[in-house]
Amino acid sequence: MITRPILFLASFCIVSIAEVLALWMNWSSVHEIAKPLIMLTLIGYYLSVSEKRNNSFVRAMFFCWVGDVLLMFQAQQEGFFMGGLVAFLVGHILYILTYRQLRWSTPVRELLPTQKVRLLFPVILAGTGLLTVLFPKLGPLTIPVVIYSIVLMLMVVSAVFRFGRTSAGSMWLVLAGAWLFMASDSILAFNKFHTAIEYSGPLIMTTYILAQFLIVEGARRHPAKAEPATVS
């Protein structure tokens, strides 16, 4: 028997593969249909599989869907890129709020100072490094892109600080997704503002799709109580 979660997950996989292939093969009509359905099917999957739904998380995914749709029209008018940037900015802020909600009130284990450095330093280095490279090329979008980059880094940092306040599976899935989200946006920014990257479209969407799926899986696996995550 095909359940609703399986139906939504299968639909998500189909439209995701279709979108990546459409970008690879330059199938514009398939792209126009598949891309808007990616986040919609993922939202459907989350709502159908989660016993306890988080409204902030659903809103975050919705704003990511808005961003996806707006960015589809950026080639026609640059204002759509700005609109997409704002939509994803709101989405990241809601993700940060969600990560704070999907935590136990009392930590079972805290990160040691060396562990914090090991987990946070790559995030800060990658984010500030990319900004340094792109800064001279941003022009009138300098302030919006800088603000977005800071919020994006905070989103990844917020995922790190779920350590000891959720299960190991939930913590690492969300963190992996947050990292992939940052990677996807970094490729997009470098391709747009600095140097064109071959096959950037499929690469951006593949990392983005994996990021969103891992974040959803991690969020839905947050338990009321479980063994803490560990860092070796």
Other CB atoms within 10 Å distance of the CB of residue 164: 19
Which tens digits make up the pLDDT trace of 17-67? 999 999 999 999 999 999 999 999 999 999 999 888 899 999 999 999 999
Which tens digits make up the pLDDT trace of 82-138? 999 999 999 999 999 999 999 998 888 877 888 888 889 999 999 999 999 999 999
Which tens digits make up the pLDDT trace of 188-204? 999 999 998 988 999 99
pLDDT at 2: 77
Q: What are phi and psi of 132, to 5 degrees?
A: -60, -40
pLDDT at 227: 53
Cα 97 to its chain centre, rounded Å, is: 14
Q: How confident is the model at residue 228 (pLDDT cuts 50, 70, 90)?
A: very low
pLDDT at 229: 45
Token digits of residue 79: 């204002």
Mean pLDDT along residues 208-232: 81
Which tens digits make up the pLDDT trace of 2-12? 799 999 999 99
pLDDT at 118: 87
Contact 218, 156 (CB under 8 A): no
Cα(26)–Cα(30) distance, integer angstroms: 9
Inform me whether the pLDDT recorded for 163 exceeds 80: yes
pLDDT at 111: 79
Worst-scoring range by mean pLDDT, 109-118, 120-129, 161-170, 211-220?
A: 109-118
Tokens 């690492």 belong to 172
Token digits of residue 172: 């690492």
pLDDT at 226: 54
Inform me whether the pLDDT recorded for 14 exceeds 90: yes
